[in-house]
Structure 1
Amino acid sequence: MTITTRHQDLLLLDKHAVESLLSMDDALAATREAFVLHSRRQGRVFQVVRERLEGGGIFGIKSGDVQTQSLLGFKAAGFWPDNREIGGEPHQATIMLVDPLTGRPTCVIDGNAITTMRTGAAGGLGLELLARADSKTVCVFGTGVQARIQLTFALRIFSSIGKVRYVTSNGKDDEAFESLFRERCDISLALERNAAVEHSDIVITATPGRGPLFDANAVRPGTHLNCVGADTKGKRELPEGLLKRVRLFVDDAGQVAQIGEAQWAPDTRTIELGAVLDGKVRVERQREDITVFDMTGLALQDLTVASLLRERAAQKKLGTSIAWPW
C-alpha cells in the first residue's frame, strides 16, 4: 500500500499581525455579520466548555461553523490570574480555523486581540441599538482590557458622551486608564459606586464577575447597561432583583441562561441582539425603560473576524506560513 503525503500550509498570525490588520470598523462589520448569521441559524454555535482549573485559572472552548461559508473553527481561551505576577496578560486565547472537508487546520491566530475587539464591537452594537440616543454620562466598572475597549466603542458611537466615572476594585484611581480618555471626555474615579450608577445614562460592567457591583435601587429608569463579566457558572455582576425590572437583551439565550447573568434569574425573558440587527424584533425603546445587554461571547464572532483576517493576511502576505503535511 502506497501512502501519499499531501502538502498543505498552515498560516500563523501573531498579535502584531492581528492588530495591524483589524480595525474597529472591521470588528463592527464582522461582529454584526455573526449576530445576523446566528439569528438566521445559518451559523451554528456548539456547546461551550468552561471549566475551573486547580491552579485557579479558567479554561474554555467556544466553537461553531457556517456551512455556507465553509467556515469551521474554535477558540480555546480562559483566565489565568497569576499571569499578572510575571508581567503577563491573564486573559489568553488562541483561535484555529479548520478545513471542514478534511479537518486539517488552516490558520492559527492569537485570539487575545480578536476577543478584545469583537467583544468591544458587540458592546458598541448593543449601545447603538439599546441606549438612549441622548446619553451623556457613563459609569464603568473595571479598568482592564475589556473596560478600555468597551469605553472606546461607547465614545466612538456616542459623540454626546462628555462625562465618565469609573470604579476600581481597590478604590484607587488608575492614571493609565484615565490618560487613554482624558482628551475625549471628563473622566475621574467615582467616589461612591451607587451614586455613580444613579447619575449615569450608560453603565458598563467589565470585571471578573466575583459578585454584585452595586445596589439594584441605584439603577434609575432610562439607564442602559452593557455587562461583560459573567461568562462562567457562578459569576455575576448585577444585583439580585434588577433583572425583574429590565428588558434583557443577550447574544445567545441558551448560553446566557447557563453562564451569563440569567443563570441567577432563569425565568427572565430574553431577546437575542441578532434578532434586532436582523429586523425580526423592533426595540421601540421607551425613555423610562431599563435595558441590559448581557454578553457571554459568540463563537461565530471569533470565526467571522478570524476569517476576515485570514483573507486579508493572504492578500497582504502577512503572517508566517509553515508546511503542514499530512
Structure 2
Amino acid sequence: MLIIDTEKTRALLPFEQLVPALAQAFREEVQVPLRHNHAIHPDSAMPGCMLLMPAWNNQGFLGIKTVTIYPQNAAVGLPGLHSTYMLHSATTGAPLALIDGNEITSRRTAAASALAADYLSRAQSSSLLVVGAGRVASLLPYAYRVIRPIQRVAVWDINPAQATRLVDQLQADGFEAQVADDLGQACAAADIVTCATLSTTPLIRREWLKPGTHLDLIGGFTPLMRESDDACFDGTEVFIDTAEAPMKAGDLLSPLQSGVLQRTDIRADLAALCRDLHPGRTGETQITVFKAVGTALEDLAAAQLVYLQVTNN
C-alpha cells in the first residue's frame, strides 16, 4: 500500500488537471452513499463532528474519507478540519493508498467551486472577493484563475491579520490583491463572491450583490452553518452540487423553511451542468448562486488522479 504525504498529494493535484478531472467524474456513474455524520462531545467546550464519506466507480476504485471538524480549534492555533483518505480496489477491496485527506479536501473543494463558476459566472469575470482566509479560501483564487481571467482579488476575514497574510501571498503570486475592510462594498465591486468559512451567522446580504454577480457558498455543510441571508435566494438562479445540499445546508434550509425558496426553484446540480442537461447562466444580469456541501465523488476523483500519476510514472 502506498502512503502519499501532504507535499506529494499537493503536487499531484494542480488545478489545471483537477478541475477537468472533477468535470469528467460528474459525467460518469459513481456510487455515493449519503455521508455519515457523528457528533463528538457536543456538550463539551470543544465540540466536534466526524464525517465518513465513501464512494466507488466503474474504473475500479473505491475510497472513503474520514473528516473531523472542530470549529473551536482556531482559538488554540489549529486547523478546524482534519481528514484522511483510504483508496481501495473496487474489484478486490485491497487497500491501494493512504493519501493526505486535508489536501484532497481543500483542493477538490476549491476545484469544484471553480468548476461550478465555469458554468455560472460571466465569462469575462475578472474581480473576485474571497470571504474567509483559511486553507480552502487561500486556494480559491488559484482555482478560479484556471477558468476565468481573474486579476483583482479582495479578501475579507473575521481575523484581519489572517486576511493580510493571504493578501501578501496572493500579491507575491501576481494577483492584484487587497484586504476588504468593508464586506458590503467589496461584494458590490466583485464579479464573483466566494465564501469558504465555518460561519453560523449570515455574512452576505442580497442587497450587496450587483446584477450579474455569481455567489459561491462552499463553507457551510451543516444545518447550523450560514454564509448568506435568506434574501440571497429570492429571485436568483440557484444551483447545488448534489441532492444532499438541500437536506444539510443551513444556507438552503432556512430560505426553504421561510418560503423564500422552493425546491422547484433549484435549477440543477453539478452533474446536470457537467452533462449539459442545463445551460447554467443564460444572461449577463442574472445573479447566480451555487451552494455546495461537498461530495465523496470529488474526493474519489482527486484520489484516483493522485494514485494514477504515482503508479504510471
TM surpasses 0.5: yes
SS at match of 1:165: strand
Within a 5 Å distance, the mapping from 1:155-170 to structure 2 comes to 155-159=145-149, 161-170=150-159
Query: Residue by residue, what CA displacement relative to the aligned partner does 1:69-92 show, whole Å, maximum 9, x if unpaired?
Result: 222221111323455566543321
Identify which of 111, 135, 147 aligns with 1:121.
111
Q: Residues 275, 15 of structure 1: CA spacing in aligned structure 2 closer, same or farther, 3 A cutoff?
A: same
Other-structure match for 1:203: 193
SS at match of 1:113: helix
Distance in 2 (CA, whole Å) between partners of 1:289 and 1:85 is 39
Within a 5 Å distance, the mapping from 1:245-324 to structure 2 comes to 245-252=235-242, 254-260=243-249, 261-266=251-256, 267-268=262-263, 269-270=265-266, 271-316=268-313
Structure 2 residue 40 is the aligned partner of structure 1 residue 53: yes
The offset of 1:105, in angstroms, is 2.5
Query: Residue by residue, what CA displacement relative to the aligned partner does 1:280-303 show, whole Å, maximum 9, x if unpaired?
Result: 111252111010111211111111
Q: For residue 135 of structure 1, what is the amino acid of its counterpart?
A: S
Q: For residue 298 of structure 1, what is the amino acid of its counterpart?
A: T
Q: Residues 140, 75 of structure 1: CA spacing in aligned structure 2 closer, same or farther, 3 A cutoff?
A: same
The offset of 1:189, in angstroms, is 1.8
Distance in 2 (CA, whole Å) between partners of 1:122 and 1:138 is 16
Q: Residues 306, 175 of structure 1: CA spacing in aligned structure 2 closer, same or farther, 3 A cutoff?
A: same
Distance in 2 (CA, whole Å) between partners of 1:14 and 1:177 is 24
SS at match of 1:133: coil
SS at match of 1:265: helix
Distance in 1 (CA, whole Å) between partners of 2:276 and 2:146 is 23
Aligned residues: 300
Q: For residue 256 of structure 1, what is the amino acid of its counterpart?
A: A
Other-structure match for 1:138: 128
CA contact (8 A) 1:128 1:157 kept: yes
CA contact (8 A) 2:15 2:142 kept: no
SS at match of 2:230: coil
Q: Residues 173, 99 of structure 1: CA spacing in aligned structure 2 closer, same or farther, 3 A cutoff?
A: closer
CA contact (8 A) 1:173 1:188 kept: no
Distance in 2 (CA, whole Å) between partners of 1:157 and 1:100 is 32
Query: Residue by residue, what CA displacement relative to the aligned partner does 1:216-268 show, whole Å, maximum 9, x if unpaired?
Result: 2111221101111111121111112221221111110x210112232223324
Structure showing greater Rg = 1
Other-structure match for 1:230: 220
**Mean alpha-carbon deviation: is it higher for 98-107 or for 136-145?**
98-107
Other-structure match for 2:259: none
Which ranges of structure 2 fall in alignment gaps of 5 or more residues? 257-261
Structure 2 residue 18 is the aligned partner of structure 1 residue 30: no
Identify which of 82, 85, 93 aligns with 1:95.
85
The offset of 1:191, in angstroms, is 2.4
- Normalised TM-score (structure 1): 0.85
CA contact (8 A) 2:107 2:139 kept: yes
- Identity across matched positions, percent: 26
Q: Residues 244, 22 of structure 1: CA spacing in aligned structure 2 closer, same or farther, 3 A cutoff?
A: same
Identify which of 152, 171, 175 aligns with 1:182.
171
SS at match of 1:220: coil
**Mean alpha-carbon deviation: is it higher for 276-285 or for 86-95?**
86-95
Distance in 2 (CA, whole Å) between partners of 1:186 and 1:263 is 36
Q: Which has the higher contact order (CA 8 A, sep 6+)?
A: 1
Query: Residue by residue, what CA displacement relative to the aligned partner does 1:178-208 show, whole Å, maximum 9, x if unpaired?
Result: 1121153332222211121122111011110
Distance in 2 (CA, whole Å) between partners of 1:26 and 1:287 is 28
Q: Residues 195, 65 of structure 1: CA spacing in aligned structure 2 closer, same or farther, 3 A cutoff?
A: same
Distance in 2 (CA, whole Å) between partners of 1:284 and 1:163 is 22
Distance in 1 (CA, whole Å) between partners of 2:211 and 2:305 is 40
- Normalised TM-score (structure 2): 0.88
